[in-house]
Structures are given as C-alpha cells and as structure tokens.
Structure 1
Amino acid sequence: MSRTAALLVAVALTLAGCGESTQEKPSVAQGEADFGKATDLSNGFGTQAKPGEFPRTVKHAMGETVIEKKPERVVVLDTGELDNVVALGIKPVGIAYTDGSPTMPSYVGDKAGTPENVGTINNVNLEAITKLNPDLILGSQLRAEALYPKLSAIAPTVFSVRPGYVWKENFVLNAAALDRQADAAKMLEDYTKKATETGDAIEAKLGVRPTVTALRFLPGRIRLYAKKSFIGTILIDAKIPQPAASQVDDLAAEISTEEIGKADGDFVVYSSYGDPAKTAQDSVLGGPLWNGLNAVKAGKAKPVSDETYFLGLGVLAADVVLDDLKKQFGA
C-alpha cells in the first residue's frame, strides 16, 4: 500500500511575557536522530471519534488532547498549519508567520480572512494568542515543543512531529482535530491524481522525465533540496527525478558557492529565503560557475516562488507547485 493510500485509510501555568522563543529544537530537526523517523513517529496520530462526534481525543506528537467542541477559533503556528486549515475551509483567527516571509502567502490570499499576527514561528507571542480566545492551536513539536505546556493552558493544542516532508500526515492530523477527515482524504486523493497527471504531461511534452534541481539560497548557506523536503515529495509523487547530488535521504544537501556545479540538471528552479541580498544568490547568479551550468546555458534555470516551493508545506501550495512545474516545462 502506498503512503498516500495508507493516509487515506487512516483518515476513515501562567503566561510570562509577550514573546517567547521557540529556537530550542528537539531531535526531529534536520541532522538529529529522529529526523528521518517523522513518518513512523506520526503513525497512530489522529482520533477514533466518529464524524461530528465531540468531545474527541486526538493523539499527536505531544500526547493526547481532548477537544470539547468543534473548533471555530483556530490559531496556526506555521505555514503548513495555515495551508491545512484554509484548505479545509477555515479562516484562522491568529497566525505566526515565518521570519523570511512575514506576510500572508499570495497563494492563500483572502481565503484566510484577516487573522491577527501572533509573532513568528521562532518568537510566538503568547499574550496575543490568549487575547484571541482560541478553541484550538495547531503547530509542531519541532517549532514549539518548549511552549507546549503554556499553549495547551490557553486552548487545546495539537502538534505534529515536524513540518516538511510529512505534510500529508500533518494534514490528516489537523483534519482529525477539526472534524474534517473526509475533506482531507478527498484533497489528498485529488493531489495524488494531479501529481501523476503533471509528470505524465511533462514527459509527453519533452519525451522524457527531465531531472529537476530545487536550489535555495539562505543566509549563510546554499541548499539542494532533496527527498525529505516538501518539494522533494512533490517531485517524487510526479515521478520527476532529481540529479544525483539531490538524491539524498535528507532535507537537503548543502553546498558552497564553489560547488554550485552540483546544482546542474536538465532544469533548475531556485529561490531565496527572505531578502536575496542577505544570501549568496546575486553573487552566484552573476558568477562564471553558474553561467557554465548546462541548465543555465539552455535557458532552463528559472526563479520560483519561495512561499510555495519551500514554505507552503500543504496541499494548497502543492497544487500551485504542480501548476507552476507544468508551466515551467511548457506542458
């Protein structure tokens, strides 16, 4: 049984200060012991409650949470949770943005309404969350494990293991807390079909499944996003291969500016996290090594939206990425 099919089966304290850092990372961070185990750690998450049944108990990364009634005032602590709740027809009352993109993602637009800003994913504002009187908080162990006791004192709180390559498992978990499992199942089914059709269309257009490098510039580092990344899972689902340097069972392979040749492939899609001027993007793109890449010489190295390819982390962003890949390939 495929992972997606398994997911579809699975679907059937005093608050101190205004802002608190969530920089302390548990072992599910990249490079730590449990990073690659996030899928296994997510097994069994969700609820045994029937559709419409409340109270319901939801099992998640931090244990079990009882949700007394169907949530209406939801606070989301990352872009993955934002994507999930909006996809399920819910407008969150509060959101923690990323430091690199502290505004509503354009692909979400007004579908999310006008949620209050409750800080960033690395500096959550507990006072702001409390004032919103939420009845559900959604986040992840990776981002905010240390804050879980205080958050759960404000409202029922459900945490995934981590954002990223387990975005489908996280969607199922969030849907369980929101009593929208059937909707999530249908959306994942539609996504899987669209990914297959996208890969087939690209192959039909080009006569081959081209290799695609997902290159990202961040302050102080350059990454080739790999199998255990959001974009990596989308390429796998579309059966679009990545070059050898990106075929690692990890979030990404980090390279230096001198190693930019490893980014070469039939196509290269690239972006910067936050302000490109704070990364090596401009110097790399203006240098001889970049201009010597086969993809660059063939006009097949294209800038893409960071907020969808790398920060989206949900089915809405995945759909946009698939549409953009077809456009990039002229399929």
Structure 2
Amino acid sequence: MTILTATMPVTDDLNRRNFGAAAGLALASLLTACATDSDDAPAPNDATRTLSTPMGDVVVPAQPTRIVSLDAYVGLQTLDELGVPVVATGTLGGGIRTLVGETSQQLPSIGVTALGDVQLEAIAAAAPDLIVGRQPIGEPFYSELSTIAPTVLIPFTYWRDQYIDVADAVGRKDDASQSFVGLDGRIAALRADVAQAWPDGLRLSVVRVSDTSGDVRSYNTLAASSTFLYADILSGAGISPTADTAPGADPTKVNVAVSSENLPMIDADVIVYYVGAGGQADAGDDVEQSLLSSPLWSTLSAVAGGRAHRVDSAPWFDGYNLAAASAVIDDLRHILL
C-alpha cells in the first residue's frame, strides 16, 4: 500500500514560464506575428482610444507607458505576459510571484488589493497614465482612481474574458485572442490522450486545503468556477470533478466543504489537491497535516493506489495567464498519462 505524504508540488516552481516550444503555445511568436494587426498597430504617443467599461466609456492612451495594475492576478499576469510597461501593482503574495517575470516581481506595491487595501497615495506616486484592474477591487475607489489616471475596470467573469479585457485596455486584444489558439490545441490533445488512457472514464477530485477556511474543499468545474483556469482546462479535456456528481451537489456553487468524517466524498480514481492559495502559499500546512494523518485519508482508493497528488496552488488557484494554464496542463499530463 502506498500512502501519500506531504511532498513537493508536481508543478516545478513555474520555471514553465519558458513554455513556448515545450508547451506548444508559442506565445512569443504569436505576439510578433500579430503585431501588424490593425487594432494593435503602433500609434502616435498622444493618440487615444475610447473603451466601453462597466463604469462607462473611458478614454485611454493608445500606447500607455506607465500602467498600474490594481491586482496581481489577471491584471499583472496578463500585462507581464504581454510585455507591456507596468510601474506598480497589487501586492504579490505567496506563490503568485512565480507566475510573472523577475521585473514584475520587483514592482512597487499599491496594497493588498484582494483585501480592499487600495493605497491611493502609492498609486498616485507611481504617476500612471493608465490604471487597470478587476472591477470588485477598483469600483469602491473609482472616483479617486479616475482623478489619478484613466481607469479601466475588468468584470470578474470567465478567466479568458478577463485576460482579453486587460489586453484590450492596452491595445493588445488581437494578440491575446490569438494566443488562445495554441492553448486550445494543447487542451484538445490532452482530451484525446486522457480518453485513450482512461477508456472507462476518469473520476477526479480537485481539492483545496486551506487554513484560511479551516477545512478541505472539493471544487467543481466550469459551470460555477469559470474564473479558475483549471476548471476551463478540465472541462475542455472532458474531465468532470467528483464534486459535480456527488450526492446533493449544487452545480451553482464553486466548492463544497468536506468534513474529516466525510473524506470518502473526495475519493476518486485520482485526487489532485493544493495547499493555501489566494496569495498565501503556506496557509494550509496545518490542515494538510491533519488531512494526511487522518485514518480515513489512508483508506481512500486514490491514496492507497498512489494516485493522490499535491500540486502548486499558484497556477491552479491563482493563475490567470497562459504560463499558468500551461503548468496546469503539464501537471495533468504528468499525473494522468
């Protein structure tokens, strides 16, 4: 019998950011190839564009050179991947910094914006010509932000739409849209390989272990979890987590709490779990140790069969760019095939 113990995550510290050839996304070449598209063509330094946003029309620089990202999630991750100039960002907590390059990791902080700690003075000090961020973060401060620089708020919806909206704010929508072609190719290949490797179907549990919530949570797929890229990838690969089909499952809820006595609810052919998240990479260690030492944990068929795997929370929970999507696919290929 093989019983899972706490090991290093499958994801390798996201050195997969250099995923171009290996992952098949070829992002750099796509961005170069799209550079001549009319929407993304170079514009005079004083040129402007008008964007329709949840807060109304906003006139933005056609080529912003000093961008503040209100969040370190889809905002910074998209801007970093597109290689546009960012001068400050929401705090990079925990493993989130592994999702962006070294330059972005060193950016000044404008607060832990995921917790509503938006520091207007720090934003003003960065002298931005454009502010971009999620609507839930920026809306309470929109009037003040707009006096500092044109502010584009992104609806908190399907992760791909968020990525494209951020890219559109900086005049790179066509680039971003084309970038998903390679991702969809990798997802289609994963679907075909999983179908071949698991001809009778695959039961998979996606589980979050968190000290923040103090429990174990089993996650659904795209129906309720469209803001998570892992859910998009699983759905595209034809994989439905067990939380979708558990007795009493509510497809409108992102996750369901699983008490220690109900651990059999998360049993499956394969269990994928991550610890912490939300910028708190280690905020789950105590709960993880409690989970792994539980007598019921060792009785789960996935655990007994050596098919329970810890993965890195950064791409699975906090990832919003193509590098993170590639890392999730790499994890799934390593675990399932």
- Once the two structures are superposed, residues 88-114 of structure 1 have per-residue CA deviations (whole angstroms, 9 ceiling, x without a partner) of 12252212136xx34652242326363
User: Aligned partners of 1:91, 1:237: CA distance in 2, in Å?
Assistant: 33
Per the alignment, do residues 102 and 302 of structure 1 end up closer, same or farther by CA in structure 2, a change over 3 Å counting? Answer: closer
- Once the two structures are superposed, residues 41-94 of structure 1 have per-residue CA deviations (whole angstroms, 9 ceiling, x without a partner) of xxxxxxxx9444641111222222110331122222221112211221225221
Per the alignment, do residues 251 and 188 of structure 1 end up closer, same or farther by CA in structure 2, a change over 3 Å counting? Answer: same
Query: Any conservation in 1 of the 2:205–2:267 contact (CA below 8 Å)?
Result: yes
Q: What is aligned with 1:269?
A: 272
Select the residue among 66, 71, 74 that pairs with 2:64.
71
Select the residue among 41, 49, 62 that pairs with 2:55.
62
Q: What is aligned with 2:232?
A: 233
User: Aligned partners of 1:75, 1:317: CA distance in 2, in Å?
Assistant: 22
- CA apart distance, 1:142: 2.1
Task: Determine helix, strand or coil for the equivalent of 2:323.
Answer: helix
Aligned length, in residue pairs: 279
Task: Determine helix, strand or coil for the equivalent of 1:328.
Answer: helix
Query: Any conservation in 1 of the 2:62–2:171 contact (CA below 8 Å)?
Result: no
Q: What is aligned with 1:179?
A: 171
User: Aligned partners of 2:200, 2:87: CA distance in 1, in Å?
Assistant: 46
Query: Any conservation in 2 of the 1:102–1:120 contact (CA below 8 Å)?
Result: no
Per the alignment, do residues 217 and 65 of structure 1 end up closer, same or farther by CA in structure 2, a change over 3 Å counting? Answer: same
- CA apart distance, 1:156: 1.4
Q: What is aligned with 2:319?
A: 312
TM norm structure 2: 0.75
Query: Any conservation in 1 of the 2:68–2:130 contact (CA below 8 Å)?
Result: yes
Alignment of 1:238-249 (within 5 A): 238-243=237-242, 244-245=245-246, 248-249=251-252
Per the alignment, do residues 251 and 315 of structure 1 end up closer, same or farther by CA in structure 2, a change over 3 Å counting? Answer: farther
Query: Any conservation in 2 of the 1:62–1:159 contact (CA below 8 Å)?
Result: yes
Query: Any conservation in 2 of the 1:266–1:295 contact (CA below 8 Å)?
Result: yes
Query: Any conservation in 2 of the 1:217–1:272 contact (CA below 8 Å)?
Result: yes
Q: What is aligned with 2:145?
A: 151
Q: Does 1:109 align with 2:101?
A: yes
Q: What is aligned with 1:33?
A: none
Query: Any conservation in 1 of the 2:39–2:174 contact (CA below 8 Å)?
Result: no
Select the residue among 227, 250, 253 that pairs with 2:253.
250
Query: Any conservation in 2 of the 1:272–1:281 contact (CA below 8 Å)?
Result: yes
What residue identity is the alignment partner of 2:233? I
User: Aligned partners of 1:290, 1:103: CA distance in 2, in Å?
Assistant: 26
User: Aligned partners of 1:257, 1:137: CA distance in 2, in Å?
Assistant: 44
User: Aligned partners of 2:301, 2:167: CA distance in 1, in Å?
Assistant: 44
Per the alignment, do residues 103 and 151 of structure 1 end up closer, same or farther by CA in structure 2, a change over 3 Å counting? Answer: farther
- CA apart distance, 1:254: 2.5
Q: What is aligned with 1:216?
A: 208
Query: Any conservation in 1 of the 2:97–2:105 contact (CA below 8 Å)?
Result: no
- CA apart distance, 1:263: 1.4
Task: Determine helix, strand or coil for the equivalent of 2:97.
Answer: coil
Select the residue among 299, 307, 318 that pairs with 1:300.
307
Query: Any conservation in 2 of the 1:224–1:263 contact (CA below 8 Å)?
Result: yes
- CA apart distance, 1:247: 7.2
Task: Determine helix, strand or coil for the equivalent of 1:118.
Answer: coil
Structure 2, unpaired ranges of 5+: 1-33
Q: What is aligned with 2:190?
A: 198
- CA apart distance, 1:314: 2.7
Query: Any conservation in 2 of the 1:91–1:115 contact (CA below 8 Å)?
Result: no
User: Aligned partners of 2:85, 2:106: CA distance in 1, in Å?
Assistant: 8
Q: What is aligned with 1:25?
A: none
Query: Any conservation in 1 of the 2:264–2:296 contact (CA below 8 Å)?
Result: yes
- Once the two structures are superposed, residues 238-271 of structure 1 have per-residue CA deviations (whole angstroms, 9 ceiling, x without a partner) of 2222111377233222232332222112111111
Residue range with higher mean Cα deviation, 317-326 or 224-233: 224-233
Q: Does 1:131 align with 2:125?
A: yes
Residue range with higher mean Cα deviation, 104-113 or 125-134: 104-113
Task: Determine helix, strand or coil for the equivalent of 1:290.
Answer: helix
Q: What is aligned with 1:287?
A: 294
Per the alignment, do residues 171 and 277 of structure 1 end up closer, same or farther by CA in structure 2, a change over 3 Å counting? Answer: closer
- CA apart distance, 1:144: 3.3
Task: Determine helix, strand or coil for the equivalent of 1:124.
Answer: coil
Query: Any conservation in 1 of the 2:132–2:169 contact (CA below 8 Å)?
Result: no
TM norm structure 1: 0.77
Q: By percentage of residues, which structure has more helix?
A: 2
* Identity across matched positions, percent: 29
Per the alignment, do residues 103 and 299 of structure 1 end up closer, same or farther by CA in structure 2, a change over 3 Å counting? Answer: closer
